[in-house]
Structure 1
Amino acid sequence: MKEGPDIARVAALLGDPARANMLTALMSGRALTAAELAQEAGVTPQTASSHLAKLEAGQIVTPRKQGRHRYFTLSGPDIVEVLEVLMGIASRVGHNRVRTGPKDPELRKARVCYDHLAGEMGVALFAALEERELIAIDHNGVILTDAGADFAAGFGIDLMALRNTPRPLCRECLDWSARQSHLAGAFGAALLNRFYELGWAQRRRDSRVVRFSLEGEKQFHTLCDGREPAAGRIS
Protein backbone atom coordinates (compact mmCIF):
# COMPACT_ATOMS: atom_id res chain seq x y z
CA MET A 1 0.00 0.00 0.00
CA LYS A 2 1.24 3.46 -0.85
CA GLU A 3 2.05 5.71 2.07
CA GLY A 4 1.65 9.48 2.42
CA PRO A 5 -1.13 11.97 1.68
CA ASP A 6 -3.92 10.81 -0.63
CA ILE A 7 -3.87 13.53 -3.29
CA ALA A 8 -6.31 11.59 -5.48
CA ARG A 9 -9.12 12.11 -2.97
CA VAL A 10 -8.49 15.83 -2.75
CA ALA A 11 -8.22 16.11 -6.54
CA ALA A 12 -11.54 14.30 -6.93
CA LEU A 13 -13.23 16.72 -4.53
CA LEU A 14 -11.88 19.73 -6.42
CA GLY A 15 -12.37 18.27 -9.89
CA ASP A 16 -16.15 18.04 -10.13
CA PRO A 17 -17.41 20.99 -12.28
CA ALA A 18 -20.17 22.02 -9.88
CA ARG A 19 -17.88 21.83 -6.85
CA ALA A 20 -15.16 23.72 -8.74
CA ASN A 21 -17.64 26.55 -9.41
CA MET A 22 -18.63 26.64 -5.73
CA LEU A 23 -15.02 26.77 -4.60
CA THR A 24 -14.20 29.50 -7.11
CA ALA A 25 -17.06 31.57 -5.69
CA LEU A 26 -15.68 31.07 -2.18
CA MET A 27 -12.29 32.44 -3.26
CA SER A 28 -13.83 35.85 -2.65
CA GLY A 29 -13.29 35.21 1.06
CA ARG A 30 -16.99 35.71 1.77
CA ALA A 31 -19.17 33.16 3.51
CA LEU A 32 -21.97 31.98 1.23
CA THR A 33 -25.10 29.93 1.84
CA ALA A 34 -25.91 26.64 0.12
CA ALA A 35 -28.57 28.43 -1.93
CA GLU A 36 -26.05 31.03 -3.12
CA LEU A 37 -23.53 28.32 -3.98
CA ALA A 38 -26.20 26.35 -5.84
CA GLN A 39 -26.78 29.40 -8.02
CA GLU A 40 -23.03 29.77 -8.63
CA ALA A 41 -22.77 26.10 -9.62
CA GLY A 42 -25.96 26.03 -11.70
CA VAL A 43 -27.41 23.10 -9.76
CA THR A 44 -30.46 22.49 -7.59
CA PRO A 45 -30.28 23.24 -3.86
CA GLN A 46 -30.50 19.50 -3.12
CA THR A 47 -27.54 18.76 -5.40
CA ALA A 48 -25.58 21.64 -3.89
CA SER A 49 -26.18 20.26 -0.38
CA SER A 50 -24.81 16.88 -1.49
CA HIS A 51 -21.69 18.50 -2.93
CA LEU A 52 -21.16 20.63 0.17
CA ALA A 53 -21.48 17.58 2.42
CA LYS A 54 -18.63 15.94 0.49
CA LEU A 55 -16.50 19.09 0.63
CA GLU A 56 -17.15 19.44 4.35
CA ALA A 57 -16.26 15.79 4.99
CA GLY A 58 -13.06 16.31 3.03
CA GLN A 59 -12.28 19.44 5.10
CA ILE A 60 -12.20 21.62 1.99
CA VAL A 61 -14.94 23.92 3.28
CA THR A 62 -15.97 24.91 6.78
CA PRO A 63 -19.63 25.48 7.75
CA ARG A 64 -20.71 28.28 10.06
CA LYS A 65 -24.23 28.56 11.45
CA GLN A 66 -25.83 31.92 12.07
CA GLY A 67 -29.51 32.01 12.93
CA ARG A 68 -31.45 29.81 10.54
CA HIS A 69 -28.74 29.79 7.90
CA ARG A 70 -25.54 27.82 7.38
CA TYR A 71 -22.71 29.62 5.66
CA PHE A 72 -19.68 28.06 4.04
CA THR A 73 -16.11 29.29 3.69
CA LEU A 74 -12.92 27.70 2.39
CA SER A 75 -11.12 25.87 5.18
CA GLY A 76 -7.91 27.85 4.73
CA PRO A 77 -5.77 30.03 2.46
CA ASP A 78 -3.90 26.95 1.23
CA ILE A 79 -7.08 25.91 -0.61
CA VAL A 80 -7.04 29.28 -2.40
CA GLU A 81 -3.41 28.75 -3.39
CA VAL A 82 -4.22 25.36 -4.91
CA LEU A 83 -7.21 26.77 -6.80
CA GLU A 84 -5.13 29.64 -8.20
CA VAL A 85 -2.46 27.20 -9.40
CA LEU A 86 -5.08 24.97 -11.03
CA MET A 87 -6.65 27.99 -12.74
CA GLY A 88 -3.22 28.96 -14.05
CA ILE A 89 -2.65 25.48 -15.44
CA ALA A 90 -6.10 25.45 -17.05
CA SER A 91 -5.40 28.80 -18.66
CA ARG A 92 -1.95 27.71 -19.89
CA VAL A 93 -3.16 24.50 -21.53
CA GLY A 94 -6.22 26.14 -23.09
CA HIS A 95 -9.01 24.83 -20.88
CA ASN A 96 -10.82 28.15 -20.66
CA ARG A 97 -14.51 28.82 -20.20
CA VAL A 98 -16.11 31.44 -22.43
CA ARG A 99 -17.50 34.41 -20.52
CA THR A 100 -19.32 37.44 -21.88
CA GLY A 101 -19.61 40.97 -20.59
CA PRO A 102 -17.11 43.12 -18.71
CA LYS A 103 -16.30 40.64 -15.93
CA ASP A 104 -13.25 39.00 -17.49
CA PRO A 105 -11.23 42.21 -18.14
CA GLU A 106 -12.04 43.51 -14.67
CA LEU A 107 -11.13 40.22 -13.01
CA ARG A 108 -7.84 40.15 -14.88
CA LYS A 109 -7.00 43.72 -13.90
CA ALA A 110 -7.69 43.59 -10.16
CA ARG A 111 -9.53 41.09 -8.02
CA VAL A 112 -9.48 39.71 -4.51
CA CYS A 113 -7.89 36.30 -4.02
CA TYR A 114 -9.32 35.28 -0.65
CA ASP A 115 -8.21 38.48 1.10
CA HIS A 116 -5.29 39.86 -0.95
CA LEU A 117 -4.88 41.67 -4.27
CA ALA A 118 -4.58 39.58 -7.43
CA GLY A 119 -4.70 40.22 -11.15
CA GLU A 120 -2.49 42.57 -13.14
CA MET A 121 -2.33 45.11 -10.32
CA GLY A 122 -1.51 42.43 -7.75
CA VAL A 123 1.35 41.19 -9.93
CA ALA A 124 2.56 44.77 -10.45
CA LEU A 125 2.55 45.32 -6.68
CA PHE A 126 4.59 42.17 -6.04
CA ALA A 127 7.13 43.12 -8.71
CA ALA A 128 7.42 46.68 -7.36
CA LEU A 129 7.93 45.52 -3.77
CA GLU A 130 10.64 43.12 -4.93
CA GLU A 131 12.33 45.72 -7.14
CA ARG A 132 12.34 48.22 -4.28
CA GLU A 133 13.83 45.48 -2.05
CA LEU A 134 10.91 45.72 0.37
CA ILE A 135 10.43 41.99 -0.01
CA ALA A 136 12.96 39.34 -0.98
CA ILE A 137 12.83 35.68 -1.94
CA ASP A 138 15.13 33.18 -0.27
CA HIS A 139 15.07 29.43 0.40
CA ASN A 140 12.29 29.97 2.95
CA GLY A 141 10.06 31.81 0.50
CA VAL A 142 9.11 35.49 0.57
CA ILE A 143 10.41 37.59 3.44
CA LEU A 144 9.78 41.19 4.44
CA THR A 145 13.07 43.08 4.54
CA ASP A 146 14.04 45.74 7.09
CA ALA A 147 13.28 48.37 4.45
CA GLY A 148 9.92 46.68 3.94
CA ALA A 149 9.17 46.87 7.65
CA ASP A 150 9.93 50.60 7.60
CA PHE A 151 7.69 51.00 4.56
CA ALA A 152 4.86 49.10 6.27
CA ALA A 153 5.04 51.31 9.36
CA GLY A 154 5.06 54.45 7.24
CA PHE A 155 2.08 53.20 5.26
CA GLY A 156 0.02 52.68 8.41
CA ILE A 157 0.29 48.91 8.78
CA ASP A 158 0.71 47.41 12.27
CA LEU A 159 3.37 44.77 11.71
CA MET A 160 3.45 43.72 15.36
CA ALA A 161 -0.20 42.70 15.15
CA LEU A 162 0.46 40.78 11.92
CA ARG A 163 3.44 38.96 13.42
CA ASN A 164 1.32 37.84 16.39
CA THR A 165 -0.92 35.74 14.15
CA PRO A 166 -0.12 32.14 13.12
CA ARG A 167 -0.45 33.13 9.47
CA PRO A 168 2.74 33.62 7.40
CA LEU A 169 3.61 37.29 7.03
CA CYS A 170 4.41 37.02 3.31
CA ARG A 171 3.66 34.29 0.85
CA GLU A 172 3.99 34.01 -2.91
CA CYS A 173 0.77 33.11 -4.72
CA LEU A 174 0.74 32.18 -8.41
CA ASP A 175 -1.73 34.40 -10.29
CA TRP A 176 -3.88 32.33 -12.67
CA SER A 177 -4.52 35.16 -15.15
CA ALA A 178 -1.07 36.75 -15.27
CA ARG A 179 0.85 33.52 -14.55
CA GLN A 180 3.17 35.49 -12.32
CA SER A 181 3.25 35.95 -8.57
CA HIS A 182 1.18 38.22 -6.39
CA LEU A 183 1.59 38.74 -2.65
CA ALA A 184 -0.44 36.70 -0.20
CA GLY A 185 -0.07 36.23 3.55
CA ALA A 186 -0.91 38.62 6.37
CA PHE A 187 1.07 41.48 4.82
CA GLY A 188 -0.58 41.03 1.42
CA ALA A 189 -4.01 41.15 3.07
CA ALA A 190 -3.03 44.21 5.12
CA LEU A 191 -1.92 46.09 1.99
CA LEU A 192 -5.28 45.51 0.29
CA ASN A 193 -7.15 46.56 3.44
CA ARG A 194 -5.04 49.72 3.54
CA PHE A 195 -5.99 50.50 -0.08
CA TYR A 196 -9.63 50.20 0.98
CA GLU A 197 -9.09 52.41 4.05
CA LEU A 198 -7.44 55.13 1.96
CA GLY A 199 -10.33 55.02 -0.49
CA TRP A 200 -8.08 54.05 -3.38
CA ALA A 201 -10.20 51.01 -4.20
CA GLN A 202 -13.38 49.24 -3.28
CA ARG A 203 -14.71 45.74 -3.66
CA ARG A 204 -17.50 45.39 -6.21
CA ARG A 205 -20.63 44.06 -4.59
CA ASP A 206 -21.18 40.31 -5.02
CA SER A 207 -17.98 39.92 -7.02
CA ARG A 208 -14.25 39.31 -6.64
CA VAL A 209 -13.55 42.44 -8.71
CA VAL A 210 -11.59 45.23 -7.01
CA ARG A 211 -12.17 48.62 -8.61
CA PHE A 212 -9.62 51.40 -8.19
CA SER A 213 -10.77 54.98 -8.67
CA LEU A 214 -8.81 57.07 -11.16
CA GLU A 215 -7.08 58.88 -8.31
CA GLY A 216 -6.62 55.64 -6.40
CA GLU A 217 -4.95 53.96 -9.36
CA LYS A 218 -2.69 56.98 -9.75
CA GLN A 219 -1.67 56.75 -6.09
CA PHE A 220 -1.17 52.97 -6.43
CA HIS A 221 1.29 53.44 -9.29
CA THR A 222 3.00 56.25 -7.38
CA LEU A 223 3.49 53.79 -4.53
CA CYS A 224 4.82 51.13 -6.89
CA ASP A 225 7.24 53.62 -8.45
CA GLY A 226 8.77 54.30 -5.04
CA ARG A 227 7.41 57.81 -4.66
CA GLU A 228 5.41 59.04 -1.70
CA PRO A 229 1.67 58.74 -2.35
CA ALA A 230 -0.65 61.52 -1.25
CA ALA A 231 -1.67 61.12 2.37
CA GLY A 232 -5.26 61.01 3.58
CA ARG A 233 -8.42 59.52 2.27
CA ILE A 234 -9.03 59.63 -1.47
CA SER A 235 -12.60 60.42 -2.38
Structure 2
Amino acid sequence: MEFTGDADVARAAALLAEPARAKVLMALADGRALPASLLATEAGVSPQTVSSHLHKLLDGGLLEMERSGRHRYYRLAGPEVAAAVEAVARIAKPQPINSLRQSTRAAALREARTCYDHLAGRLGVALLEGLVRREALVRTDGGTGTDRRPEDPLAQQLPDGPYALGPTASEVFGELGVDLSEKPSGRRLLRFCVDWSEQRHHLAGRLGAMVANATLERDWVRRRPRQRAVDLTDAGRHALADLLG
Protein backbone atom coordinates (compact mmCIF):
# COMPACT_ATOMS: atom_id res chain seq x y z
CA MET A 1 0.00 0.00 0.00
CA GLU A 2 1.29 3.44 -0.94
CA PHE A 3 0.79 6.26 1.51
CA THR A 4 0.78 9.95 0.64
CA GLY A 5 1.18 12.95 2.89
CA ASP A 6 -0.71 16.22 2.98
CA ALA A 7 -0.92 18.32 -0.16
CA ASP A 8 2.25 20.34 -0.72
CA VAL A 9 0.48 23.69 -0.62
CA ALA A 10 3.70 25.63 -0.02
CA ARG A 11 5.27 24.36 -3.24
CA ALA A 12 2.21 25.22 -5.34
CA ALA A 13 1.97 28.64 -3.70
CA ALA A 14 5.65 29.29 -4.40
CA LEU A 15 5.10 28.55 -8.08
CA LEU A 16 2.27 31.08 -8.16
CA ALA A 17 4.20 33.67 -6.17
CA GLU A 18 6.79 34.55 -8.83
CA PRO A 19 5.43 37.48 -10.95
CA ALA A 20 6.47 36.14 -14.35
CA ARG A 21 5.04 32.68 -13.62
CA ALA A 22 1.82 34.26 -12.38
CA LYS A 23 1.52 36.14 -15.68
CA VAL A 24 2.11 32.91 -17.62
CA LEU A 25 -0.69 31.17 -15.70
CA MET A 26 -3.04 34.11 -16.18
CA ALA A 27 -2.30 34.11 -19.91
CA LEU A 28 -3.22 30.42 -20.08
CA ALA A 29 -6.30 30.68 -17.86
CA ASP A 30 -8.66 30.66 -20.85
CA GLY A 31 -7.77 27.02 -21.59
CA ARG A 32 -5.80 27.65 -24.79
CA ALA A 33 -2.34 26.27 -25.50
CA LEU A 34 0.28 28.92 -26.31
CA PRO A 35 3.90 28.75 -27.45
CA ALA A 36 6.79 29.78 -25.21
CA SER A 37 7.58 32.81 -27.38
CA LEU A 38 4.15 34.32 -26.81
CA LEU A 39 4.25 33.47 -23.10
CA ALA A 40 7.59 35.25 -22.82
CA THR A 41 5.97 38.37 -24.27
CA GLU A 42 3.02 38.08 -21.88
CA ALA A 43 5.33 37.68 -18.89
CA GLY A 44 7.70 40.44 -20.02
CA VAL A 45 10.79 38.21 -19.82
CA SER A 46 13.32 36.75 -22.24
CA PRO A 47 12.72 33.39 -24.00
CA GLN A 48 15.49 31.84 -21.88
CA THR A 49 13.88 33.05 -18.66
CA VAL A 50 10.39 31.90 -19.59
CA SER A 51 11.80 28.49 -20.52
CA SER A 52 13.08 28.11 -16.96
CA HIS A 53 9.71 29.16 -15.54
CA LEU A 54 7.82 26.77 -17.82
CA HIS A 55 10.04 23.89 -16.71
CA LYS A 56 9.22 24.63 -13.07
CA LEU A 57 5.50 24.87 -13.77
CA LEU A 58 5.59 21.57 -15.68
CA ASP A 59 7.53 19.90 -12.88
CA GLY A 60 5.05 21.26 -10.34
CA GLY A 61 2.09 19.78 -12.21
CA LEU A 62 0.48 23.13 -13.08
CA LEU A 63 1.13 22.94 -16.84
CA GLU A 64 1.07 20.38 -19.63
CA MET A 65 3.14 20.53 -22.82
CA GLU A 66 2.05 19.41 -26.29
CA ARG A 67 4.33 19.09 -29.32
CA SER A 68 3.23 20.14 -32.79
CA GLY A 69 6.03 19.57 -35.27
CA ARG A 70 9.06 21.40 -33.96
CA HIS A 71 6.99 23.63 -31.72
CA ARG A 72 5.92 23.18 -28.13
CA TYR A 73 2.65 24.50 -26.77
CA TYR A 74 1.78 24.90 -23.11
CA ARG A 75 -1.60 24.80 -21.38
CA LEU A 76 -2.92 24.56 -17.84
CA ALA A 77 -2.98 21.02 -16.47
CA GLY A 78 -6.73 21.25 -15.93
CA PRO A 79 -9.67 23.39 -14.82
CA GLU A 80 -8.64 23.01 -11.18
CA VAL A 81 -5.50 25.03 -11.95
CA ALA A 82 -7.64 27.76 -13.55
CA ALA A 83 -9.87 27.73 -10.48
CA ALA A 84 -6.83 28.17 -8.23
CA VAL A 85 -5.61 31.11 -10.30
CA GLU A 86 -9.10 32.68 -10.15
CA ALA A 87 -9.20 32.17 -6.38
CA VAL A 88 -5.86 33.92 -5.89
CA ALA A 89 -7.01 36.73 -8.18
CA ARG A 90 -10.06 37.17 -5.98
CA ILE A 91 -8.11 37.66 -2.74
CA ALA A 92 -5.15 39.56 -4.23
CA LYS A 93 -5.00 43.34 -4.08
CA PRO A 94 -5.33 44.89 -7.54
CA GLN A 95 -2.13 46.12 -9.11
CA PRO A 96 -1.96 49.91 -9.43
CA ILE A 97 -3.21 51.08 -12.82
CA ASN A 98 -0.78 53.49 -14.40
CA SER A 99 -2.24 53.84 -17.86
CA LEU A 100 -5.52 53.98 -19.74
CA ARG A 101 -4.58 50.70 -21.43
CA GLN A 102 -4.32 48.92 -18.08
CA SER A 103 -7.62 50.42 -16.92
CA THR A 104 -9.39 49.35 -20.10
CA ARG A 105 -8.00 45.83 -19.87
CA ALA A 106 -9.08 45.44 -16.22
CA ALA A 107 -12.60 46.64 -17.05
CA ALA A 108 -12.76 44.25 -20.01
CA LEU A 109 -11.87 41.28 -17.79
CA ARG A 110 -14.70 42.13 -15.41
CA GLU A 111 -17.14 42.54 -18.29
CA ALA A 112 -16.48 39.31 -20.20
CA ARG A 113 -13.64 36.80 -20.09
CA THR A 114 -12.90 33.12 -20.34
CA CYS A 115 -12.39 31.07 -17.19
CA TYR A 116 -10.48 28.07 -18.54
CA ASP A 117 -12.86 27.07 -21.38
CA HIS A 118 -16.13 28.71 -20.32
CA LEU A 119 -17.45 32.27 -20.12
CA ALA A 120 -17.14 34.36 -16.99
CA GLY A 121 -17.51 37.94 -15.81
CA ARG A 122 -20.76 39.86 -16.21
CA LEU A 123 -21.42 38.04 -19.47
CA GLY A 124 -21.02 34.58 -17.93
CA VAL A 125 -23.30 35.44 -15.02
CA ALA A 126 -25.90 37.00 -17.36
CA LEU A 127 -25.88 33.88 -19.53
CA LEU A 128 -26.63 31.67 -16.55
CA GLU A 129 -29.34 34.05 -15.37
CA GLY A 130 -30.95 33.87 -18.81
CA LEU A 131 -30.81 30.06 -18.82
CA VAL A 132 -32.52 29.98 -15.43
CA ARG A 133 -35.10 32.55 -16.55
CA ARG A 134 -36.04 30.37 -19.53
CA GLU A 135 -36.01 27.22 -17.37
CA ALA A 136 -33.26 25.57 -19.37
CA LEU A 137 -31.64 25.24 -15.94
CA VAL A 138 -33.50 25.26 -12.63
CA ARG A 139 -32.23 25.85 -9.13
CA THR A 140 -32.57 22.87 -6.84
CA ASP A 141 -32.03 24.66 -3.53
CA GLY A 142 -34.93 27.09 -3.54
CA GLY A 143 -32.66 30.00 -4.46
CA THR A 144 -33.29 32.46 -7.26
CA GLY A 145 -31.21 33.64 -10.19
CA THR A 146 -27.47 33.14 -9.87
CA ASP A 147 -27.00 34.29 -6.27
CA ARG A 148 -24.17 32.65 -4.39
CA ARG A 149 -25.15 30.46 -1.45
CA PRO A 150 -23.67 31.48 1.94
CA GLU A 151 -21.56 28.31 2.05
CA ASP A 152 -20.14 28.69 -1.48
CA PRO A 153 -16.42 29.54 -1.49
CA LEU A 154 -15.50 32.60 -3.48
CA ALA A 155 -13.78 32.28 -6.86
CA GLN A 156 -13.87 28.50 -6.96
CA GLN A 157 -15.54 25.79 -8.95
CA LEU A 158 -18.30 24.26 -6.87
CA PRO A 159 -18.28 20.53 -6.10
CA ASP A 160 -22.09 20.52 -6.31
CA GLY A 161 -23.82 23.43 -8.02
CA PRO A 162 -27.46 24.08 -7.08
CA TYR A 163 -28.80 23.66 -10.64
CA ALA A 164 -30.22 20.89 -12.83
CA LEU A 165 -31.41 20.69 -16.42
CA GLY A 166 -34.88 22.20 -16.69
CA PRO A 167 -37.97 21.41 -18.78
CA THR A 168 -36.88 23.61 -21.72
CA ALA A 169 -33.22 22.53 -21.72
CA SER A 170 -33.18 20.78 -25.12
CA GLU A 171 -35.04 23.65 -26.80
CA VAL A 172 -33.06 26.53 -25.33
CA PHE A 173 -29.62 24.96 -25.61
CA GLY A 174 -30.50 23.93 -29.16
CA GLU A 175 -31.23 27.58 -29.96
CA LEU A 176 -27.78 28.40 -28.59
CA GLY A 177 -26.24 25.82 -30.90
CA VAL A 178 -25.60 23.20 -28.21
CA ASP A 179 -26.71 19.61 -28.75
CA LEU A 180 -27.44 17.98 -25.39
CA SER A 181 -27.60 14.55 -27.05
CA GLU A 182 -23.93 14.78 -27.99
CA LYS A 183 -22.00 11.72 -26.85
CA PRO A 184 -20.80 12.44 -23.30
CA SER A 185 -17.15 12.51 -22.35
CA GLY A 186 -15.73 11.68 -18.96
CA ARG A 187 -16.17 15.30 -17.93
CA ARG A 188 -19.22 16.26 -15.88
CA LEU A 189 -21.91 18.02 -17.87
CA LEU A 190 -22.98 20.46 -15.15
CA ARG A 191 -20.42 22.35 -13.11
CA PHE A 192 -20.58 25.89 -11.77
CA CYS A 193 -18.13 28.48 -10.46
CA VAL A 194 -18.48 31.44 -8.16
CA ASP A 195 -17.36 34.27 -10.39
CA TRP A 196 -14.53 36.21 -8.72
CA SER A 197 -15.57 39.62 -10.06
CA GLU A 198 -19.36 39.21 -9.78
CA GLN A 199 -19.46 36.92 -6.72
CA ARG A 200 -22.34 35.02 -8.29
CA HIS A 201 -22.54 31.75 -10.19
CA HIS A 202 -21.57 31.15 -13.80
CA LEU A 203 -21.83 27.97 -15.86
CA ALA A 204 -18.73 25.77 -16.11
CA GLY A 205 -18.13 22.08 -16.87
CA ARG A 206 -18.70 20.41 -20.23
CA LEU A 207 -21.91 22.34 -20.82
CA GLY A 208 -20.21 25.64 -20.11
CA ALA A 209 -17.48 24.79 -22.62
CA MET A 210 -20.08 23.83 -25.24
CA VAL A 211 -21.93 27.13 -24.77
CA ALA A 212 -18.69 29.11 -25.02
CA ASN A 213 -17.65 27.26 -28.19
CA ALA A 214 -21.06 27.85 -29.76
CA THR A 215 -20.94 31.59 -29.11
CA LEU A 216 -17.42 31.79 -30.55
CA GLU A 217 -18.33 29.76 -33.65
CA ARG A 218 -21.36 31.98 -34.30
CA ASP A 219 -19.24 35.11 -33.83
CA TRP A 220 -21.43 36.23 -30.96
CA VAL A 221 -18.29 36.46 -28.85
CA ARG A 222 -14.76 37.21 -30.06
CA ARG A 223 -11.47 36.55 -28.32
CA ARG A 224 -9.06 39.42 -27.83
CA PRO A 225 -5.52 38.65 -29.00
CA ARG A 226 -3.31 37.43 -26.14
CA GLN A 227 -5.96 38.28 -23.55
CA ARG A 228 -8.53 36.40 -21.48
CA ALA A 229 -11.02 39.18 -22.12
CA VAL A 230 -13.58 38.56 -24.85
CA ASP A 231 -15.92 40.94 -26.64
CA LEU A 232 -19.65 40.49 -27.11
CA THR A 233 -20.41 41.43 -30.73
CA ASP A 234 -23.48 43.37 -31.80
CA ALA A 235 -24.84 40.17 -33.37
CA GLY A 236 -24.25 38.33 -30.11
CA ARG A 237 -25.86 41.04 -28.03
CA HIS A 238 -29.05 40.95 -30.12
CA ALA A 239 -29.11 37.14 -30.40
CA LEU A 240 -28.64 36.52 -26.69
CA ALA A 241 -31.16 39.22 -25.80
CA ASP A 242 -33.72 37.49 -28.04
CA LEU A 243 -32.90 34.00 -26.75
CA LEU A 244 -32.36 34.66 -23.05
CA GLY A 245 -33.85 38.05 -22.40
What TM-score, normalized to structure 2?
A: 0.80
- Aligned partner of residue 62 in structure 1, secondary structure: strand
Secondary structure at the residue paired with 2:182? helix
Range moving further from structure 2, 171-180 or 46-55: 171-180
Q: Is the 8 A contact 2:187 2:205 kept in 1?
A: yes
Change (3 A) 1:135 1:166: farther
Amino acid of the structure 2 residue aligned with 1:161: E
C-alpha deviation, 1:14, in angstroms: 1.6
* Aligned-partner residue type, residue 34 of structure 1: A
- Name which of structure 1's ranges 3-12 and 50-59 shifts more when overlaid on structure 2: 3-12
Once the two structures are TM-superposed, the CA of residue 95 in structure 1 deviates from its matched residue by 3.5
- AA partner of residue 10 (structure 1): A
Q: Quick check: 1:80–1:113 contact (8 Å CA) kept in 2?
A: yes
Cα deviation, residue 137, structure 1? 5.0
Instruction: Count residues with an aligned counterpart.
Output: 220
Correspondence list, 1:58-77, <5 A: 58-77=60-79
Deviations 1:70-120 (A, max 9, x none): 111001111111111211122xxx343426323222222112222211111
Aligned pair in 2 of structure 1 residues 41, 148: CA closer, same or farther (>3 Å)? farther
Cα pair 1:85 1:175 within 8 Å, conserved? no
The structure whose residues are more often helix, as a share, is: 1
Alignment partner, residue 151 of structure 2: none
TM-superposed deviation, 1:142: 4.5
Per the alignment, residue 53 of structure 1 pairs with 55
Give the equivalent residue in structure 1 for 2:132. Answer: 130
Q: Percent identity?
A: 42
Q: Give a deviation string over 1:179-213, Cα, whole Å, max 9, x none.
A: 32221111111112222233322222332222222
Give, in whole Å, the separation in 2 of the partners of 1:21 and 1:173: 22
The superposition leaves residues 29-85 of structure 1 with CA deviations (integer Å, 9 ceiling, x where unpaired) of 221122221221112222211111111011100011112221110011111111112
User: Are residues 144 and 152 of structure 1, via their aligned partners in 2, closer, same or farther at CA, if it must alter by over 3 Å?
Assistant: farther
Q: 1:190 aligns with which of 207, 210, 225?
A: 210
Match status 1:100 vs 2:100: yes
Counterpart Cα distance in 2 of 1:137 and 1:97: 41
Gapped runs of 5+ residues in structure 2? 142-158
Normalising by structure 1, we get a TM-score of: 0.83
2:82 to 60, 80, 83: 80
What secondary structure sits across from 1:183 in the alignment?
A: strand
Task: Give distance in 2, aligned partners of 1:40 and 1:160.
Answer: 39
Asked if 1 retains the 8 angstrom alpha-carbon contact of 2:133 and 2:244, the reply is no
Once residues 140 and 209 of structure 1 are traced to their aligned partners in structure 2, the CA distance between those partners, rounded to angstroms, is 27
- Structure 1 residue ranges without an equivalent (≥5): 226-235
